[in-house]
């Protein structure tokens, strides 16, 4: 599996290209202001991007969707419960004093247990609300194998957890999502957060100050 991570200011939000090394099929996850670097990586490596997958619709995670959609023509996936955020991306940007291009319509709303295939791999969609109502974890692995790479958006970070003071956020719901959904993937699972470095479930279960109390 090929994983390319890019982040640029002002948000330093991670955008990802995840690709199958054999078929060169790929998905783009959360294209933001770093979208040009993600598209360049896909082009340089002759990747065919099948889908644009969003972990949630906060503005930093969607500013690159117009450019990604224009360049790739691939369907945009989002959880329906974050549509209210997606539809207000331009206003969300204005709150930060940023210009945000209008977003293309969402093509597909995630359904429970949905699997999005690309090459020999698949992304399995798990609902992890709390940071926002429509947050999801994308569990990626080879078809038929246990997916050990988790793209968790802003639900869980190395040493921290997502904020819950934005519209639709709820701390108890967030903690429940982390404990019941993310921890169930096991200590070896790799966590690729929306901001900052990667980590593992085991590392966070043992040392994350927000999650250590039973």
Contacting positions for Zn ion (CB under 5 A) = 13, 58, 60, 154, 194
Answer for the pair 77, 53: CB distance below 8 angstroms, yes or no.
Answer: yes
Q: Which two tokens stand for residue 35?
A: 């979208």
Q: How far is the CB of 58 from Zn ion (least distance, A)?
A: 3
Nearest distance in Å: CB 154, Zn ion: 4
Contacts of 93 (CB under 8 A, 6+ apart): 59, 63, 99, 100
DSSP state of 207: H
Looking up tokens 């279960």 gives 205
Indicate the residue among 23 and 198 with the shorter CB distance to Zn ion. 198
Our CB check for Zn ion shows the closer of 59 and 125 to be: 59
Which residue lies nearer to Zn ion by CB, 55 or 141? Answer: 55
Task: Report the residue number, 165 or 214, with the smaller CB distance to Zn ion.
Answer: 165
Shortest Cβ 129–Zn ion spacing (Å): 12
When the beta carbons of 4 and 33 are compared against Zn ion, the nearer one is: 33
Three state DSSP letters for 9-58: CCCCECEEEEECCCCCEEEEECCCCCHHHHHHHHHHCCCEEEEEECCCCC
Helix or strand or coil: residue 6?
A: strand
CB atoms within 10 A of CB 66: 18
Instruction: Supply the minimum distance, in Å, between the C-beta of residue 117 and Zn ion.
Output: 26
For 192, the token pair is 């690729």
* CB of residue 181 to Zn ion, shortest distance in Å: 17
């Amino acid at each position: 599996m090929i994983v390319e991570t890019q982040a640029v200011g002002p948000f330093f939000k991670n955008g990802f290209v995840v690709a199958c090394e054999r078929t060169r099929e790929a998905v783009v996850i959360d294209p933001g202001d770093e979208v040009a670097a993600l598209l360049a990586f896909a082009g340089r490596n002759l990747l065919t991007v099948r889908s644009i997958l969003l972990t949630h619709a906060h503005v930093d995670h969607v500013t690159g969707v117009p450019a990604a959609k224009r360049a790739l023509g691939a369907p945009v996936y989002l959880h329906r419960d974050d549509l209210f955020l997606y539809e207000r991306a331009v206003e969300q940007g204005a709150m930060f004093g940023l210009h945000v291009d209008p977003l293309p319509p969402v093509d597909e709303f995630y359904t429970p247990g949905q699997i999005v295939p690309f090459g020999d791999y698949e992304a399995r969609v798990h609902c992890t609300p709390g940071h926002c109502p429509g947050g999801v974890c994308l569990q990626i692995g080879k078809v038929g194998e246990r997916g050990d790479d988790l793209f968790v958006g802003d639900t869980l970070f190395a040493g921290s957890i997502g904020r819950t003071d934005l519209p639709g956020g709820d701390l108890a719901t967030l903690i429940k999502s982390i404990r019941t959904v993310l921890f169930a993937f096991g200590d070896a699972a790799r966590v690729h957060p929306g901001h900052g470095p990667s980590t593992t479930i085991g590392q966070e279960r043992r040392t994350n100050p927000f999650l250590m109390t039973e």
